[in-house]
Structure 1
Amino acid sequence: MSLFFMRRQVFLVPAFLFSLFFLAFDSLAQQRAINTLNNLPRIEITGGISLHIVSPEPIQKVDVSSHALVGDLLESNVLRLKIVPDSVYLLPRTPDALVVVTIIGETFIAQYQLCFSPPGLGLTPTLLNISPEDCQPLEVSGVGLSTPAMKVHALSLLKNRSTSAIRKAGGYGFRTRLNQVYSLGDYIFLDLSFENTTGLRYSIDELRFKIEDKKITKATNVQSVEIVPVWQLYPLTSFKRNYRNVFVFKKMTFPENKLLNIELTEKQISGRTITLKVKYGDILKADTF
């Protein structure tokens, strides 16, 4: 039985943990070219108790070799497995016939063997973190830069607090600025910050990125192309004074007669709206990691 799950946002883990994970991951995975059933990590599972498996990156696919088990994603990197009620009899109870669970992430594949444990013993695990020694490297089609890698680089940008603004705009007691532009392969990182100088909390409604004409006249049709980040460091939320975030885009190009307009709108009928205009030259001058 194969289960396919869509990706969603993941919660934050400190950057150094991701670095340690992938350093260990590269070295350990090279030592194990073939997995056999007897070599797979063994995990016990009990009826009525869910097993939660935490991945270091978003889970792409899951395969479970028994109809007695079902799984779902609580978060993009948290898999929940449990025994289907009245299906315990389908689970093998001998060491030579175990259930295999395969988990595919953005850059790795991991497998575990599950065995049934009777209730009442109190030894059944409820949480499992996928460790580097359980993984093998994997190149998934369509995944250019992994989520953990984007997070590591985005957090490194936030360490730089003394940058002068590349572009800035303001109004209604509110200021926004483009702090840094970085590129990595086919990806562009935009470091944006927002400052609220009023006593009213700013509740973000939308943050939109649109490529539009520099000059708009009544005689021409306005051409606007909206681009969507492939990833962002923090979710959009409300803030009292300051808010800073990093947005990642696939490589973009646009002519000199157009601008990248970053439009922030506030909730409420009379919400404040601020537009930051970024020139293509600002993108071309991006630093590299």
Structure 2
Amino acid sequence: MNKTLFTLIFALLMLGAGTLSTAYAQSSGDLYQGLTRGMPDGRTVIPYGLEVTFDKTTHLIFPAPIRYVDLGSANIVASRAESAENVLRVKASVKDFETETNMSVICNDGSFYAFNVKYANEPEKLSLEMVDFLHASEGNLPSNKADIYFKELGNETPTLVRLLMSTIHKQNKRLVKHISAKQFGMQFGLKGIYVHNGLLYFHTFIRNTTNMRYQIDYVTFKVVDKAVTKQTAIQETILQPLRAYNDLAVVAPKSELRTIYALEAFSLPEGKILEISLHELNGGRTLTFTVDNKDLVRARAIDDLELRF
């Protein structure tokens, strides 16, 4: 092989190697130097476009308390409003930053929101209300619906828990007719007990027949001794609801309020009852009713319910 031919072959080999190197450098995003495949479009959460600036604050109002916030870079800062758990404040920490960044938010209802964030001297929108994931479009859940699990809900997603409570509220069936307390022109009672995947759902109602509004302070769930005297110390266990649906603070005059509470499933030991109490803010109109174990074990399975979006 003469010198000229050798030089030509070497040049061609080097050119091919350079082309191959360039091909690897300019990745399409589908292959990462191995056997992989691209993410399917149907599982992609489409981000919202968000503009922020240095001298003004952008407020995002979510339909549920904010659980988690992640920022893509230090060019933006975000924090929850002190007295409103569902309001997020966002602004630029650096003036005129050029590189677009991102932000992710998870709410207590299991909804997931993604944002692509860029700088603008004068953002067009400074106050934004995000849509609840239950607000369906053409029968389909929006893209911010995600199968996110929280530890306190066990094997249930917040999305499904909220949807189940919403369905119970819309159907408004009176499965239990013998459990309520009546006093002071008020009635506090139970309309139904449901069970699904390790959670109990209590459908309660408050009826106000007076001309005065009833301002709710709190509702308690306690497991107490079934029969005690006034001199006997009551052994009680406080149960904390994991979620509440339509949990409003005021019952208007001549009106009714219905609320669904989700609790971890339980049964009552011998000699114990469940005591559910309604407490008035700055008032003495406290109403209490009790639930026996025989009522708990008759809880209706929610599997037969038609879920309503």
> Are 1:156 and 2:184 matched, yes or no?
no
Q: Which amino acid aligns with 2:90?
A: L
**Structure-to-structure mapping, 1:25-174, within 5 angstroms:** 31=41, 42-55=49-62, 58-74=65-81, 75-84=84-93, 87-88=94-95, 91=97, 93=98, 97-105=99-107, 107=110, 110-119=113-122, 123=124, 126-127=127-128, 129=130, 132-133=142-143, 137-144=147-154, 145-161=156-172, 163=174, 165-174=177-186
Match of 1:261 among 275, 278, 284: 275
Look up the equivalent residue of 2:161 and give its one-letter code: M
Equivalent pair of 1:104/1:110 in contact (CA under 8 Å): yes
- Secondary structure in structure 2 of the residue aligned to 1:247: strand
Residues in 2 aligned to 1:202 and 1:56: alpha-carbon distance in whole angstroms: 25
Partner residue in 2 for 1:6: none
Unaligned runs of at least 5 residues, structure 1: 1-28
Q: Scaled by the length of structure 1, what TM-score is found?
A: 0.71
Aligned partner letter, 2:115: Y
Letter of the structure 2 residue corresponding to residue 127 of structure 1: L
Higher relative contact order (CA 8 A, sep 6+): 1
Shift in CA distance, 142/196, structure 1 to aligned 2, threshold 3 Å: closer
1:248–1:30 Cα change, 3 Å: farther
The superposition leaves residues 178-234 of structure 1 with CA deviations (integer Å, 9 ceiling, x where unpaired) of 110011112111111122333433333332211111100367532011112112112
Aligned to 2:12: none
Q: Which amino acid aligns with 2:55?
A: G
Larger Rg: 2
Distance 1:55 1:172, change over 3 A: closer
Q: SS at 1:60's partner residue? A: strand
Residues 63 and 124 of structure 1: CA distance in aligned 2, closer, same or farther (over 3 Å):
same
* Partner Cα distance (2:61, 2:218) in 1: 30
Q: Is the 8 A contact 1:169 1:176 kept in 2?
A: yes
5+ residue gaps in structure 2?
1-38, 134-141, 303-309
Hey, what does 2:294 align to over in structure 1? 281
In structure 2, C-alpha distance between the alignment counterparts of 1:218 and 1:108, rounded to whole Å: 48
One-letter amino acid of the structure 2 residue matched with residue 51 of structure 1: T
Q: Is the 8 A contact 1:108 1:139 kept in 2?
A: no
CA contact (8 A) 2:147 2:159 kept: no
Aligned partner (choices 243, 248, 252) of residue 262 of structure 2? 248
Work out whether 1:190 is the aligned partner of 2:202. yes
Task: Tell me the distance in 1 between the aligned counterparts of 2:186 and 2:43.
Answer: 56
The question of whether the paired residues in 1 share the 8 Å contact of 2:213 and 2:251 is answered with: yes
Determine helix, strand or coil for the equivalent of 2:204: strand
The aligned counterpart of 1:227 is: 239
For residue 46 of structure 1, report the CA deviation from its aligned partner. Answer: 2.6
Say if 1:54 and 1:179 are closer, same or farther in 2 by CA, change over 3 A. Answer: same
After superposition, the CA RMSD in angstroms is: 3.3
